[in-house]
Structure 1
Amino acid sequence: MSDRPDPWLLLPAPVRRLPADLAAVTLLVLLTVVAVFAPVVRETPLRIVLGLPFVLFVPGYAFVAALFPEAGEGPVDEELEDPEAVEASRDGGIDGIERVALSFGLSIAIVPLIGLVLNFTPWGIRLTPIMVAVSGFTLVAVALGAVRRWELPQEERFSVPYRSWIAGGREEMFEPDSRADAALNVVLVLSILLAVSSVGYAVAVPKQGESFSELYLLTQNETGDLVADDYPTEFTHGEPRELVVGIGNHEHETVNYSVVVMLQNVTFVTNESRVRSANGTVTPVYNETRVLEEERMRTFETTLGQNETWIQPHSIEPTMAGEDLRLTYLLYRGEVPSEPSVDGAYREVHLWVNVSRTTSR
């Protein structure tokens, strides 16, 4: 006999006693968290494969398990004629079909409600807060459902009849009553394989839309909300003003971003060139922007995954004074070049501001 301890015994007693279906829910939550946040795994289709049931089924199932720990009855047997016995057999429980239907319906209701609550918190509706909130809700519901089942007698607890399902499926597949049943089994298996293959291909080779990145400026209004309005245009030399810069990644891949904030004194030069066209001679006029003086104020760096956003409040404290200065935000993918400019940036936004010198008293 081996003296090596069983690894299963190393787990806490409540974990070992966890019902099989709730243990599977807990495992799926943990696997989804790994698939979403692990550096290598999050780039694979496993993230979508686990994410769909995590959003559409798991929270509702855990909530239903907490609400209905009792074993429910299916269709009532015709031999069960006593009305009181019929009512007692259905008291407090729901059958498997009702449980599955409620799980989908409640999940579709719970996840948006969690997102609505997060929208009014400082964290907002982003990947990490959503994952933490949905995972936390599910695990709390699992714990509550397990405790409520343990409080019931063994014969009244809900349990998924895995063994009877497996035995029935094996008998139906390998011991059909007729050749027609055998043929139908083969068609069923092929249909399932075709459906799984189609879904797997759609997940593994998704149709990608347009790839782009967002760069935008925001301000904070009197109620504390971020809005694209009421930008500061009047600055005083050495006095800070608050702005918020944001980035949105829609590149279908993880991107390292850099943002350079520059205050530039620019001038517009009008150039003329005479070009003879087929219809006669024309004189096109175009403007060239030249930077006379510039001040590099801030540099930000961040890494974003697909559909992730980044918002950075910051202060602008100019040391260069003048009128019609261009407060420019330059976005780069990767490292910033030695001489950042509007022409070489991936994205650019700017404000025209006036900076006055501090008046002496």
Structure 2
Amino acid sequence: MVAFRSLWLLLPRRVRQLPADLAAVVSLVIATNIAVLVPVIRETPLRVPIGLAFVLFVPGYAFIAALFPEADETPASATESTPPDGRTIVDDSDPDGWDDSIPSRPGIDGIERVALSFGLSIAIVPLIGLVLNFTPWGIRLVPIVVSVSVFTLGSTVVAAERRRELPVDERFQVPYREWYIAGRTELLEPDTRADAALNVLLAISVVLAVGSVGYAVMGPADGEQFSAIYLLTEDDDGELVADDYPTEFIQGESQELIVGIDNHEHKTTEYTVVVLEQDVEVVENETATSDGDTNTTVNKTVVRDQRELDRFSTTIAHNESWTHEYTLEPTMTGESQRIVWLLFPDGDVPAEPAMGDTEYAVHLWVSVSDS
């Protein structure tokens, strides 16, 4: 306890005097960055509820706090009061009793503050994403989290400074102490036994509701389980695209491409990729209808020769992708050569793998010449 107090005193005075609601905003921003960016923690479901609060409420709340640092009511004094239309009574010498030159403070109440926080958050985050779309960083997880964090912390600093400039009795404050005292009195000191029973039922209902929502958010159903393998190339800008594959080879020379794997198996999975080189012949078969008229042509692929070029393995976490720069060097020559990448989850590879042994495969047609 003493060590904690010593660390607290080491903080700048302005930080120690930060209002409780703004301190909670800063704490949630820090917690979100930890939950999203720290390798071990980002694997846990903890980032789901923290991320939802961060995106849907916190930026708007900080922005509203910067716009409206005042409390929602102007305190009355012995010599003045505030009528419904916003004017202030000062003395009996005024013909109508009100002074039109002194407006009331433009504060908003707690319900308006919460509603505007949700609404502005839903507007602010997409606008930040739109701006990022025109930057080199693009709309990615880390740039989004950092940008929203910077905006929120900047708004929090402005809100803290604007509140500090106001008299103490005019600053907005979250009455959490009053809420705690009222809730404690209502729960522990009920007026009647019926009120006590209702309080117990209410507490149980809240716990069950929070638990149900938390389970639904943090433990979603597994859904469909599948994997995927695909081929990519690198364009002139260094971006990975599914285009411009190498198709013309000279025997003994190699070309580069990218092999990508996606894991949606809802578990960490070990994959083995087997690369086959096939000399293929395409045979046309005609199919006749029942009345004897021929109207359909079906192409049949016949593998005349097959060789295993390579195999490699990797382990991928659930909902993660993995890319591998692969050097392709065919050994067979001809115009109808097919290179096949077979993906086997959990390392279950047959002794002589073929395309029918797995549902995950990708192929590339190439032409290989002698020189």
Settle same-fold status: TM greater than 0.5: yes
Give the drift of 1:83: 2.8
User: Are the structure 2 counterparts of residues 18 and 90 from structure 1 closer, same or farther at C-alpha, using a change threshold of 3 Å?
Assistant: same
Correspondence 1:137-216 to 2 at 5 A? 137-177=151-191, 181-203=195-217, 205-216=219-230
SS at match of 1:167: helix
Partner residue of 1:89? Answer: 104
Partner residue of 1:99? Answer: 113
Correspondence 1:1-361 to 2 at 5 A? 6-38=6-38, 41-68=41-68, 70-73=69-72, 80-81=82-83, 83-85=86-88, 88-91=103-106, 93-119=107-133, 124-177=138-191, 181-203=195-217, 205-219=219-233, 228-229=242-243, 231-236=245-250, 243-255=257-269, 262=275, 264-267=277-280, 289=303, 291-296=305-310, 301=314, 303-306=316-319, 308-310=320-322, 314=325, 316=327, 318=329, 320=331, 322=333, 323-333=335-345, 341-343=353-355, 347-358=360-371
- Contact kept? 1:254, 1:304, Cα under 8 Å: yes
User: Are the structure 2 counterparts of residues 101 and 357 from structure 1 closer, same or farther at C-alpha, using a change threshold of 3 Å?
Assistant: farther
C-alpha distance in 1, partners of 2:135/2:341?
28
Task: Output the TM-score relative to the length of structure 1.
Answer: 0.72
Rg (Cα) greater in structure: 2
C-alpha distance in 1, partners of 2:236/2:46?
44
C-alpha distance in 2, partners of 1:335/1:108?
45
Task: Output the TM-score relative to the length of structure 2.
Answer: 0.70
For residues 105-158 of structure 1, give each alpha carbon's deviation from its aligned partner in whole angstroms, at most 9, with x where no partner exists: 122223334444455556554444443343343333333433443344434432
- Contact kept? 2:64, 2:116, Cα under 8 Å: yes
User: Are the structure 2 counterparts of residues 115 and 329 from structure 1 closer, same or farther at C-alpha, using a change threshold of 3 Å?
Assistant: farther
Give the drift of 1:239: 6.8
Give the drift of 1:195: 0.9
For residues 58-82 of structure 1, give each alpha carbon's deviation from its aligned partner in whole angstroms, at most 9, with x where no partner exists: 22222322333x12316999x6327
User: Are the structure 2 counterparts of residues 8 and 76 from structure 1 closer, same or farther at C-alpha, using a change threshold of 3 Å?
Assistant: closer
SS at match of 1:208: coil
SS at match of 1:83: coil
Corresponding letter in the other structure for 2:145: M
Indicate the percent of aligned positions where both proteins have the same amino acid. Answer: 55
Measured on the aligned residues, the alpha-carbon RMSD in Å equals: 4.2
For residues 316-344 of structure 1, give each alpha carbon's deviation from its aligned partner in whole angstroms, at most 9, with x where no partner exists: 56364623222333445577979895556
- Contact kept? 2:75, 2:169, Cα under 8 Å: no
Give the drift of 1:160: 1.3
SS at match of 2:339: strand
Give the drift of 1:212: 1.2
Give the drift of 1:304: 4.2
User: Are the structure 2 counterparts of residues 218 and 203 from structure 1 closer, same or farther at C-alpha, using a change threshold of 3 Å?
Assistant: same
